[in-house]
Chains A and B, each alone.
Chain A
Amino acid sequence: MSSGHLVRRRLGDAGAWLVGLIVLIWTLLPLYNMVLVAVQQKEDVFASNVWPPHPTLESFIIVFKEGYWYLEHFWLQMGNSLYIGVAVALLTLFIGALTSFSIGRLRVPMGWLVTNTALLTYVIPMSFLAIPFYRIMKSYGLADNAWSVIAVEVTFATPYAIFIFQQYAGSIPRELDEAARIDGASPPQIFFRIYLPLMAPALVAVGTYALLLAWNEYLYAFLLLSSDQTITVPVTLGKFLNSDEAPWNYLMAASIVFALPPLAIYYIFRRYMSAGLTMGGVKG
């Protein structure tokens, strides 16, 4: 019986290794493809290579020096992506924290209505409002302006921020507010000196979420921004894709450069992210 047990365990281990191997290949294949194309010369890209025959970093140098006409404003566009991402993160944090403070701590009347409204906004698919937004931003005079994209992304990131903040604030004792109030602190003082510092982990999680959401966003940046000086990197990548003579090695090199910052941020803030995102619990 014990040898049968051992055989079954060995089989289980072998199975786990097999599953692990499949998961590894599945996960890395599209990423490997990016690297493979990026380190090849143009003529090697249009050949049946599985590994790069003459690996070179030339495409990356082209990207860094903006040495191709599609990449003329690459660093400016990286800057645009960063500017939009940071603005979205800060505004989302600010609006989300104020709202959650008003509902959860000041107990504003009808707070539940605001919570449900936010919940409803959270489940509206972002792309479904692209057509009205396109016209509205024109009438607001924000056509081809980064703030049009910032406004849209803040709109869709704030509801998530409100939930996470409300859940997290539940763990901060209300007695701290009460004590401060007795000492004569006004609501803004309580907000800035007690609420915000204690909310720091949730702020980091949601800030990272909002930054990555904005960095990855394509549709609204594509529709609302038009000139080469205002568009973000994903829009440039999309333009590349639709051009007739696509220099795939430059496209993939630019893609990798664009993908690295969020990757770094993700692994640095992973601890907070998983605290914020894995709140799905099983309630017995």
Chain B
Amino acid sequence: MAAAPGTPALAAAREAPARRGGRLRAAHGLKGSELSWALAFLLPYAAVFFAFVLYPVGYGLWLGSSPASYRALFADPIYAETVVNTLVYLAVGVNLKLFLALLLSGFFMRPGWWVKALLLIFVLPWAVPAIPTFISFHWMLNGQWGLINNALWTFFRMDGPPWLDTPHLAMGSVIVAYIWKWMPFWTVIFLAGRMSIPRELYEAAEVDGATGLRSFLHVTFPLMANLYTVCTLLSTIWTLGDFNTVHFVSGGGPALQTHVLATLGIRDAFELGDPGMGMAAVISALPLLVPLVIILMRRLSKGEVQL
């Protein structure tokens, strides 16, 4: 091929006219054969989208369209509790995780070899598959033989509580496991955000007498606020659909007291054998999900933050 890669100088020199040419071509539309190629290249994704996004979404909405399903769902005493759990899980889990991640990203900005080595270890929870570690949490929190209560006994001669047999503690355990698993990912994101803040800004702030907390409040936070907001939205949306953490750490127990909407939907559909009721549980999350998606899409399309 004539066009060997690695001609950036040439490319840069020709950038301006080529841009204009490109726009001209776009305005005139594609030539016949190029247009058919472009459409052909789009076909696989279009097929995936229609067969595996549009159809399931439509089918799911149809499955959950019977009012009887909603009557059954609202009559289920577990449902109200599940909604509260879901809100607590989102409000506490997402915010605590992101706030800690923001603080820790500042810690990992420190110079020194041991901080870099620690970062390699710190990302382990994210790199290790979720299911084994959640199973590990489940056993670690066993009231009788779990590592936590064993350690409490060995070091402090204390009897730990039966973590997963007490509703509030079980919900707390789920949130801790969730934070453990996902905090590293967001810390890395915030770390990248912090690194892209020019050093001169901090130096200028220091000249003006702002160090430590004040430099964080007046330099770091204003510049990170947008990224932080988008991360909160995205994380809330993903967490709303989180099935694995609850399913493996508490299993929805004790006595179905720690279900969230994502696990309740699966339970209703497959354990109770009522897909309509399961879909109703999922659809009842839409009044929360849809506004979040709209706000996020607006933020992302403005191009202020790239993910």
Measured CB to CB, the residues of A under 8 A from B are 16, 19-20, 23-24, 26-34, 36-37, 45-50, 94-96, 98-99, 101-103, 106-109, 114, 116-121, 123-136, 151-152, 154-155, 158, 162-163, 167, 173-180, 183, 185-188, 191, 193-194, 197-198, 215-216, 218-219, 223, 234, 237-238, 241, 248, 251-252, 255-256, 258-259, 262-263, 266-267, 274, 277-284
Are the CB atoms of A281 and B193 closer together than 8 Å? yes
Are the CB atoms of A267 and B140 closer together than 8 Å? no
List chain A residues, Cβ under 8 A from B270: 134, 223
Are the CB atoms of A19 and B107 closer together than 8 Å? yes
Inter-chain pairs besides A34-B133, A125-B241, A282-B196, 6 sampled, C-beta below 8 Å: A20-B107, A34-B132, A117-B49, A176-B7, A179-B3, A280-B193
User: Which of A33, A131, A238 has a CB less than 8 Å from the CB of B136?
Assistant: A33
A263 and B44 in contact, given A119-B297, A277-B188, A282-B227 (Cβ under 8 angstroms) = no
Q: In whole angstroms, what is the CA distance A30 to B184 when docked?
A: 15
Are the CB atoms of A129 and B306 closer together than 8 Å? no
Q: B50-58, B72-80, B164-172: which one contacts chain A?
A: B50-58
List chain A residues, Cβ under 8 A from B307: 163, 279-280
B189-207 contacts to A, CB under 8 A, are 189, 191-193, 196-197
A262 and B138 in contact, given A47-B145, A123-B293, A274-B188 (Cβ under 8 angstroms) = no
Are the CB atoms of B275 and A20 closer together than 8 Å? no
Provide the B86-116 mask, 1 if CB < 8 A to any CB of A, else 0. 0000000000000000001001001000110
Measured CB to CB, the residues of B under 8 A from A are 1-3, 5, 7-8, 10-11, 14-15, 18, 21-22, 25-26, 29-30, 33-35, 37-39, 41-42, 44-45, 48-49, 51-53, 55-57, 59-60, 63, 104, 107, 110, 114-115, 118, 121-122, 124-125, 127-133, 135-140, 145, 147, 149-151, 153-155, 177, 180, 184-185, 188-189, 191-193, 196-197, 223-224, 226-227, 230-231, 234, 237-238, 240-244, 247-248, 262, 265-266, 269-270, 275, 278-279, 282, 285, 289, 293, 296-297, 300-301, 303-307
Are the CB atoms of A102 and B38 closer together than 8 Å? yes
A238 and B131 in contact, given A278-B192, A281-B193, A283-B305 (Cβ under 8 angstroms) = yes
List chain A residues, Cβ under 8 A from B104: 23
Are the CB atoms of B128 and A176 closer together than 8 Å? no
User: Please, which residue of chain B has its CB at the minimum distance from the CB of A48?
Assistant: B150
Q: In whole angstroms, what is the CA distance A152 to B153 when docked?
A: 46
List chain A residues, Cβ under 8 A from B238: 125
Give the top 3 A-B pairs by smallest Cβ distance, nearest first.
Answer: A125-B241, A255-B132, A278-B192
Q: In whole angstroms, what is the CA distance A177 to B127 when docked?
A: 37
Q: In whole angstroms, what is the CA distance A213 to B48 when docked?
A: 18
Are the CB atoms of B39 and A180 closer together than 8 Å? no
A101 and B41 in contact, given A135-B275, A175-B11, A263-B128 (Cβ under 8 angstroms) = yes
User: Which of B53, B128, B147 has a CB less than 8 Å from the CB of A155?
Assistant: B53
List chain B residues, Cβ under 8 A from A174: 18, 22
Are the CB atoms of B306 and A46 closer together than 8 Å? no
List chain A residues, Cβ under 8 A from B55: 132, 136
List chain A residues, Cβ under 8 A from B230: 280
User: Please, which residue of chain A has its CB at the minimum distance from the CB of B223?
Assistant: A282
Q: State how many angstroms separate the Cβ of B299 from the closest Cβ of chain A.
A: 11
Are the CB atoms of B37 and A131 closer together than 8 Å? no
Q: State how many angstroms separate the Cβ of B18 from the closest Cβ of chain A.
A: 5
Are the CB atoms of B52 and A151 closer together than 8 Å? yes
Q: In whole angstroms, what is the CA distance A266 to B180 when docked?
A: 18
List chain A residues, Cβ under 8 A from B154: 48, 50
Q: State how many angstroms separate the Cβ of B232 from the closest Cβ of chain A.
A: 13
Q: In whole angstroms, what is the CA distance A281 to B223 when docked?
A: 10
Q: List 6 A-B contacts (CB under 8 A).
A: A30-B177, A126-B241, A128-B262, A134-B269, A241-B138, A280-B307
User: Which of B115, B150, B185, B266 has a CB less than 8 Å from the CB of A49?
Assistant: B150
A31 and B133 in contact, given A128-B262, A176-B11, A278-B188 (Cβ under 8 angstroms) = yes
Q: State how many angstroms separate the Cβ of A277 from the closest Cβ of chain B.
A: 7
Are the CB atoms of B243 and A180 closer together than 8 Å? no
Are the CB atoms of A234 and B129 closer together than 8 Å? yes
User: Which of B8, B118, B136 has a CB less than 8 Å from the CB of A252?
Assistant: B136
Are the CB atoms of A128 and B282 closer together than 8 Å? yes
A282 and B224 in contact, given A16-B110, A47-B145, A176-B3 (Cβ under 8 angstroms) = yes
User: Please, which residue of chain B has its CB at the minimum distance from the CB of A235?
Assistant: B131
User: Which of B129, B226, B266, B293 has a CB less than 8 Å from the CB of A259?
Assistant: B129
A133 and B56 in contact, given A154-B48, A280-B307 (Cβ under 8 angstroms) = yes
Q: State how many angstroms separate the Cβ of B46 from the closest Cβ of chain A.
A: 8
User: Which of A95, A178, A218, A284 has a CB less than 8 Å from the CB of B48?
Assistant: A95
List chain B residues, Cβ under 8 A from A101: 41
List chain B residues, Cβ under 8 A from A284: 223
Q: State how many angstroms separate the Cβ of A193 from the closest Cβ of chain B.
A: 5
Are the CB atoms of B193 and A30 closer together than 8 Å? no
